[in-house]
């Protein structure tokens, strides 16, 4: 299994429960597809470098996980189809 990191930005208008549900949803996507989440680091609300859809803040979440090679594509598909996710990036970690 390879090691990956996923950083995504959730729209800031959501309630705390909705944010927790989103974080659990994407950890679940990794687990359902044979991966294991190593760490979820919620950075909280931060100012964006530039406005996205007229929003100047976002809720940042960093997830570190180990998974087979096909899991990042499935995770990206789920992130792309969620209107609550403003931006995301999934990259492979070395060592």
Q: What share of residues in the chain are helix, strand, coil (percent, to 5)?
A: 30, 50, 20
Number of domains in the chain: 1
DSSP label at 93?
A: P
How many angstroms separate the CA atoms of 22 and 27, rounded?
9
Per-residue pLDDT of the chain (95 residues; tens, 9 = 90+): 899 999 999 999 999 999 999 999 999 999 999 999 999 999 999 999 999 999 999 999 999 999 999 999 999 999 999 999 999 999 999 86
Long-range contacts at 39-44 (CB < 8 A, ≥ 24 apart):
39/63, 39/64, 40/64
Write out the residue range of the structural domain in which residue 22 sits. Answer: 2-92
CATH number for the domain spanning 74: value is 3.30.70.60
How distant, in Å, are the alpha carbons of 26, 28, 84 from that of 21? 9, 10, 11
With tokens 């990259």, the residue in question is 91
**pTM to 2 decimal places:** 0.91
């Amino acid at each position: 299994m390879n090691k990956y990191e996923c950083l995504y930005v959730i729209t800031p208008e959501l309630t705390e429960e909705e944010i927790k549900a989103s974080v659990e949803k994407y950890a679940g996507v990794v687990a359902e597809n044979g991966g294991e989440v190593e760490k979820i680091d919620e950075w909280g609300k931060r100012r964006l470098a530039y406005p996205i859809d007229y929003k100047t803040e976002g809720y940042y979440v960093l997830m570190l996980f180990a998974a087979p090679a096909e899991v990042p594509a499935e995770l990206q598909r789920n992130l792309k189809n969620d209107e609550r996710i403003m931006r995301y990036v999934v990259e492979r970690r070395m060592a």
